[in-house]
Amino acid sequence: MPGVLIVEAMAQAAAILSFKTMDTKPNDKSVYYFAGMDNVRFKKPVSPGDQLILKVSIDRILRGIWKYKGQALVDDVVVAEADMMCILKAID
């Protein structure tokens, strides 16, 4: 699996975690932006047939900016990790 898709999957998991944390559901009045990533590390390749487990935790929330730490694991071995940042914005 390409690394960019692993990071995208972690960002999607972070968005789901945010909505669960806020006890709300996404709607057409807001958009969730993937704003940035830091400290991205790809440690091992992910091959077809591997089960990719995603672990994402909220690092902090500051003025509408959510920061996360994410890990992707295969067989309990970290294959990728990243610090991510997302922003929830209202649409006018």
Check residue 30 and give its pLDDT.
Answer: 81
Q: Is 79 helix (H, G, I), strand (E, B) or coil?
A: strand
H-helix or E-strand spanning residue 72: strand 65-74
pTM confidence score: 0.86
Looking up residue 37, the CATH number of its domain turns out to be 3.10.129.10
**Cα angle: 58, vertex 48, 10; to 5 degrees:** 10
Digit-coded pLDDT (tens) for 14-67: 989 988 998 888 888 888 888 899 999 999 999 999 999 999 999 999 988 999
| Spatial contact of 46 and 1, defined as CB atoms under 8 Å apart | yes
* Domain count for the chain: 1
Domain span at residue 26?
Answer: 3-90
